[in-house]
Amino acid sequence: MTGGSTTGDDGSKTKGTGVHESRQPWPLWEVFVRSSRGLSHVHAGSLHAPDADMAVRNARDLYTRRNEGVSLWVVPSSAIISSDPDAKGQYFESAQGKDYRHATYYTKSEGVKHL
């Protein structure tokens, strides 16, 4: 979405000013939305915006359709640290083979009610 023409129907062009050469793409933002009856913010998607204020406004257009009663969070994508997909084994399978970690492993003692 960068580098496109910004000229309208007046036919004017910007050439050789060096502006386009120095132009940086807008940074990427992650958008989290809490819908009007939702309990938590849910990741809705991402967008490009020049700054946080514009990111919130763009998120409203793109992800909430301007419904009332919603809350929006925007976070620069660069601020998010994710877990390493290759380390899935160590990270997420820790409970496997460790039945003693689960309450269901234990048999219920006789005479204990309401458990």
For other proteins, the binding residues in 68-97 under the rule CB under 8 A are: none
Cα distances from 6 to residues 3, 47, 70, in angstroms, run 9, 19, 32
Q: How many CA atoms lie within 13 A of 108 on its CB side?
A: 7
CA dihedral (40, 42, 38, 56) positive or negative: positive
DSSP classification of residue 38:
-
Please state the closest distance from residue 50 (CB atom) to other proteins, in A.
Answer: 6
Please state the closest distance from residue 77 (CB atom) to other proteins, in A.
Answer: 15
SS3 state of residue 73: strand
Site pattern 34..73 for other proteins (x: CB under 8 A): -------------xxxx--xx--xx--xx---x-------
- Residue number, 16 or 111, with CB nearest to other proteins: 16
Please state the closest distance from residue 17 (CB atom) to other proteins, in A.
Answer: 6
Please state the closest distance from residue 81 (CB atom) to other proteins, in A.
Answer: 25
SS3 state of residue 101: helix
- Residue number, 2 or 82, with CB nearest to other proteins: 2
Tell me, by CB under 8 A, how many residues bind other proteins: 26
Locate 113 and state its tokens.
């009610």
Give me the residue label for tokens 């946080």: 52
> Rule CB under 8 A: which residues touch other proteins?
1-2, 4-10, 12, 14, 17, 19, 22, 26, 47-50, 53-54, 57-58, 61-62, 66
